[in-house]
Structure formats: C-alpha cells, structure tokens
Amino acid sequence: MERIKYNRERRLKGLVNSIPYSLKRFNNVVPGIQKENYVIVTASSGVGKSKLTKRLFVIDPIDFMLNNQQMGMKLDIFYFCLEESKERFMNSLMCSWLYKHRKARVPIKELNSETEVLDGKYIVALEEAESYFERVESMLHIYDDVRNPYGIYREVEEFLEKNGTWTKKQIMVPSKEKKGELVPTMVRNKYIPNHPDHYVLVIVDHVSLIHPEKAHNNSLHAAISDLSSNHFLRLRDKYYCSLVMVQQQAADKEKQQYTYKGQSIEAKLEPTLDGLGDNKLTGRDANEVYGLFAPDRYEIKNHKGYNVEQLEDNYRSLMVLKYRDGESNLRIGLFFDGAVNHFEELPPVDDMSSQAYENYLRRVGRLLTVDNIDFTNV
C-alpha cells in the first residue's frame, strides 16, 4: 500500500513511474522502461533487433532525461556490445542524431567516408553537438571487452555498491561452534540507492555471443541460463535494475514454410517465445518479450493490411510476445530506416493512402522528387 500511494503521489506531482518509449501506440500497451523489469528483444538475424534496442533503451531514455531535467531523475545505461565496437556504437548514435536534429540521412559508411567523402557541414554539426554527446556519455557506459556472464554482473554490481547502501536485519543461523544452537546474525535486507529516482539499465547485445565460463563446461546454453536466471534476476529483484537481453530467434525459424497450396505460412516465420535461440528458458525469466519481424525477406507482399510490396525492407512489425502485467499479441506496423536507427509507427492500415506510401519511400530515396533529379544532361 505504501508503494501504491507513493506512485500515485508522484503522478499527481507531474512525475513519472516509468520512462516512456517514443512509439506512442506501443507505449499505450507497455508502459515503457520500468524499474525491476526484464525485457527480451528478439528477431531473426539481420532484422534490426540491435537497432530497435538502441532506439527504445538508449536514445529514448537519454532524450527523455535531457528534456525533463526538472524531474530530477538519474539514468545510467550499461550496454554490453558483443557484436560491435564501442566506436561503431557511438557512430550509430551520431547517425541517429543527424537524422533527428539535422534531417540528414547519413549512414555509418558515409559518416566514415568509406564510400564517398563526408560533407563538411556534418562535421561542423557534430562538433557543435559536443555538449550533447558529453551528456550522453555521462549516462551511457559501453563495454565491448566484457563477454562472460559473471564479468557482466560484476561490472554492474560494483557500480551499484558504490551508489547505494543496504539496510540490515537480524536472523538466526546455526552456530559453527555449537551444533544445534542458533545464533543471531545481521544480514543484508534491502538495497537503497543513493539517488531516490535512479534508473539503471543493463543491456546485453546479443546473448548468443557471450563466452561460457569454466563452470558452464563450454556450454552456451548453461552460460545463458546463468546470466538470465542467476545474474539478471538478482540485478532485477535485489537492485531494482531494468534488464534488456537481445536474443536471436533459432535458425530454423527463418525457413520458409508453405501450405499444401503453396502459400506462405506467416505464423511460422514470425518470432515466438518457443523460437528463442540457444536457450528458450530465458522467456520464463523475462517480464516482457518484444519480437521484430521483416516480412519482405520472405517475399510476403501484404502483412496485416500493410503493403509490404511497396515498403519492402523499410517495413517492420513490432510484436509483444509476452507481457506479465497486461495483454500480449499486440502488433504495430513500423517504418524502418536501418541506415540511421530510425523506427516510426505507421498510421493505422485504413489511413495508409498511396500518397502516404510514396512519402515514406521518398524519405529513403526510393522515389525521385523534383529536388533530387539532375536535369544537366536532359
């Protein structure tokens, strides 16, 4: 009752009890980033699960904190990159910033002048945003060299111990000196963060790339179980952290299946709890599981009413596969631009006119406009 009253009073004061996602319709179903919560983001290989994770659990909460400093909240994100370097991670955030604040679509390969020389105006823009990225780095702790389950847990635990204290309680335990006799002993009871409204996010991307330890006998399955059921649950239940695990779907989920008429069975291709790769038991530990689906890779022309034939790889379907505190099986159509980590909710199917499709295609350069046609040799 104390907690219910406390949360209510916070809302009455204009404060929040979770950090909202920028995807509004999605946020109406799941309340955003909560303390003491464990989320799995899953998809087949190459669909964009890491990009979605950066959007929902890095860019969104950091922007919220910077735009709502009057709320007095504190944020620390521990991102364990198991498939990209720290530098490339920051490059992706720069691409996102240029897209959002300068309306410039600059992929990483262009940012690094790999295909063509980067326009100097983007260098100027990023240098002018130095204070923004300094604030980002004050909240974001990126690790690209910690890959074992206990190492991940230990990095976060050391931070938490420095930024909080424990209350103690007395319990009776068997005496080591006198058998059968119980003696009073003080033990840890409740973790109290130094900052009263401190959000600590721990993200592992992606879990199939972790390194098993000796105790796991080189078993990836055992290593994932240890990280999820032992370390993650302790960080959630004892330290009130928000946990995010990026986990691929099993390889056999990518195999196209058909009816006897030769029609594709979409339900067999979409991500599922049963399809979690390398260890399905993580789905039991998680509070929420989000799935991301790209029907274009299977040549599906229409998905839940959206014209995938037009949008092609710029369409994604975001699903809630599990939600302990509410309804699951939600699906939302998204416009996706992987070059700049951009996800945007599409209008409801009935509002998607031919003009709307054309507008989305122009944004990724797949439709010519008068502004980008070269008339020199016409």
Domains of the chain, residue spans: 33-368
**Packed helices 60-67 and 130-139: angle between N→C axes, nearest 10 degrees:** 110
Whole-number Å distance between alpha carbons of 280 and 200: 26
Q: How far apart are CA 172 and CA 130, in angstroms?
A: 56
Which residues of the chain fall below pLDDT 50?
370, 372-378
Q: What is the pLDDT of residue 373?
A: 44
Q: What is the pLDDT of residue 378?
A: 40
Cβ contact 167:138 at 8 Å: no
Cβ-contact 203, 77 below 8 angstroms: yes
Torsion angle defined by CA atoms of residues 294, 100, 330 and 51, in that order, rounded to the nearest 10 degrees: 50
318 vs 237, 239, 246, 295, 346, CA distance in Å? 27, 29, 14, 11, 11
Residues 145, 169: Cα–Cα separation, whole Å: 38
* Cα distance from N-terminal residue to C-terminal residue, the chain: 74
Distance CA 44, CA 46 (A): 6
Tally of CB atoms within 10 A around 157: 17
* CATH fold group of domain 33-368: Rossmann fold (3.40.50)
Q: How far are the Cα atoms of 58, 124, 366 from residue 98, in angstroms, in the given order? A: 16, 11, 20
Q: What is the pLDDT, as a whole number, of residue 33?
A: 97
Specify whether the CB–CB gap between 83 and 50 falls below 8 A: yes
- Position 154: which residue type? R
Residue type, 294: A
Residues 6+ apart with CB under 8 A from 203: 53, 57, 58, 77, 78, 79, 80, 243, 244, 245, 246
351-365, pLDDT tens digit by residue?
999 999 999 999 998
